[in-house]
Amino acid sequence: MKIEIAIPIFDRFTALDAVGPYEVLSRLPGATVHFVAAEPGPKRTETRMLALTADLALDELTDPEVVVVPGGYGTRELARDEQILGWLRRAHETSLRTTSVCTGSLLLAAAGLLDGLEATTHWLAFDTLAEYGAVPVERRVVEHTEARIITAAGVSSGIDMALTLAAHIAGDEIAQAIQLGIEYDPQPPFDSGSTAKAPPGIVELVRGAAGTFA
C-alpha cells in the first residue's frame, strides 16, 4: 500500500508538533512523508532558531492519504488564509485521516472541519478553539472514526497520536515496532505534563509567560 502523508508547515510553526508524527509515520511501510507549504522552501519556527524545508507546494499534493497539521503561533494568521483552508477542505474529502497537533486544530476548525465536533488543542488555546466552532475536550488524543479526524493536545502529544494512527493504518504490530524503533518508553524526570498533574504554581508560571514556555 502506498501512503502519502502531507505535513503542511508555515512561518512560526512548532517543530516538535510536526517532527514527532514525522518520525513515527515515516517508518510506516509504504509511507512517504511530504513537508508542504504555500511556497516551498525553509519555514522557520516561532523561536526563529530552526528552519525545516517544505519540499512541495500545496497544489502539488492535493489528495494525500493522511494530513498532519502542526501548531504554533503562526496558526493565528493562517486561520484567515483561504489558500490553506481550501487545501485542507479539499484534502479532507479524500483522506483516510485528517489530523492535527496542538494549535493545528485551529486550522482544521477554521476550515469548518470541526463544526460541533469534540476536539483538542494546546491547553492554553481551548477558548480559541471553541470560538471556531469545535467543542474542546481535555483528552490527549480525540478521534472521530466517521468524520476521519484526529486532534491531539499540545506539542509532544503528536507522538502518541501518530502511534494511534499508525495502528489504524498498518495494525498494532507495526505500530509497536515503530514505538520500539524510536525507543518511545517515556521517563520524564517530573510529572508536570498537564494542568491536572502540574503544581498550581507551575500552571500559573506558564500561563503568565506563555511566550516563553508554551
Residues designated as active site? 102
| DSSP E strands, 88-202 | 97-101, 118-119, 135-136, 141-144, 149-152
Nearest 5°: CA angle at 187, between 183 and 191? Answer: 145
State the Cα–Cα distance between residues 163 and 50, nearest whole angstrom.
Answer: 25
Task: Give the end-to-end CA distance of the chain in Å, rounded to a whole number.
Answer: 38
Q: Any bridge partners for residue 56, and if so which?
A: 36
For the chain, list the strands marked E by DSSP.
3-8, 31-37, 41-44, 51-54, 56-57, 66-69, 97-101, 118-119, 135-136, 141-144, 149-152
Residue 107: count of CB within 10 angstroms of its CB: 26
User: DSSP alpha helices (H): ranges in 13-101?
Assistant: 15-25, 75-78, 82-94
